[in-house]
Amino acid sequence: MKHKLFKIVSATTMSFLMSGAYAQSDGSPIPKVSDHWRFEVTPYLWAPGINSTLFFNDKYLNTVALSSSNVLGDLKSGGMISAEAHYGNWGIMGDLVSATLHQNQTISTTAPTAQGAVPAKFATSATLQQTILTGAATYTVISNKDAYFDGLVGVRSIAITATLGLVLDGTSLNASDSKSTSTVDPIIGFKGRYRLADSTWYIPLYADIGGGGGTTNMTWQGMIGVGKTFDKWIDVSLAYRALYYDMSNNGLLQKTTMKGPQLAASFNF
């Protein structure tokens, strides 16, 4: 169902983009800086592939590798939204990614008994709950008819809980354990967009880097894509987004990369 939903949303948005290329619209995709409040709310769907080493109960588990399709298939609940508010050159922004992933697997092995080793199957389950919240103050450093860029300074917090379960097939024998990690890190970066050939098409850009907030050695995030303004109140974009975390020895995420396509609709008012 989630695979079909993603395909439907992607196909609908791409057809919307293509049809919009012929629409009569001379609206600029570049925001205008003025002494009035302006707001932007962007619900989106980000389907990142995940590559990670988990540091779980003093052991490194090198088995966390999910493709974008795996993430959509294992997604049990979640929400993704960003918002901005600007007055003049100054502004604030926030971004929230909340998701719960669950995966089941069966492992075939042998188990020792009084009669010797016999075949056995273990049912394993892994649940990863994560909430990533980014907040920053922004200041417009470039604003002209073709480009708009804000510098930003803020923080990103991440809270993750990993739960592993094990059940011996055909018996009541089971075991489970969980571990949680949370951290808040300062970040610095920029965001903006570049207009393509005086059209309503644009390239959205985002980048930040930070770390040092307790358990994090370094974190960075980047995004680039293509978008179109259909009216002064709505933009649609398709981008590629990546988020990286490298935590210290006692952190749950060791060298974790989340990267994949992002489909977004921005409402401006």
Q: Is residue 27 part of a domain?
A: no
Q: Is residue 137 part of a domain?
A: yes
Q: What is the pTM of this model?
A: 0.76
Segments of the chain with pLDDT less than 70? 1-26, 53-77, 102-126, 164-178, 249-253
pLDDT value of residue 170: 59
Q: Is residue 26 part of a domain?
A: no
Q: Is residue 28 part of a domain?
A: no
Q: Which residue, 218, 208, 223, is CA-closest to 256?
A: 218
Task: Write phi, then psi, for 68 (nearest 5 degrees).
Answer: -60, -40
Output Rg (C-alpha) for the chain, integer angstroms: 22
Number of domains in the chain: 1
CATH number (domain holding residue 168)? 2.40.128
pLDDT value of residue 248: 74
What is the span of the domain harbouring residue 95?
2-21+33-268
Each residue of 18-77: pLDDT tens digit?
444 433 345 799 999 999 999 999 999 998 887 776 555 555 554 455 554 555 456 566
pLDDT value of residue 247: 80
What are the residues facing 150 on neighbouring strands?
A: 140, 191
pLDDT value of residue 12: 44
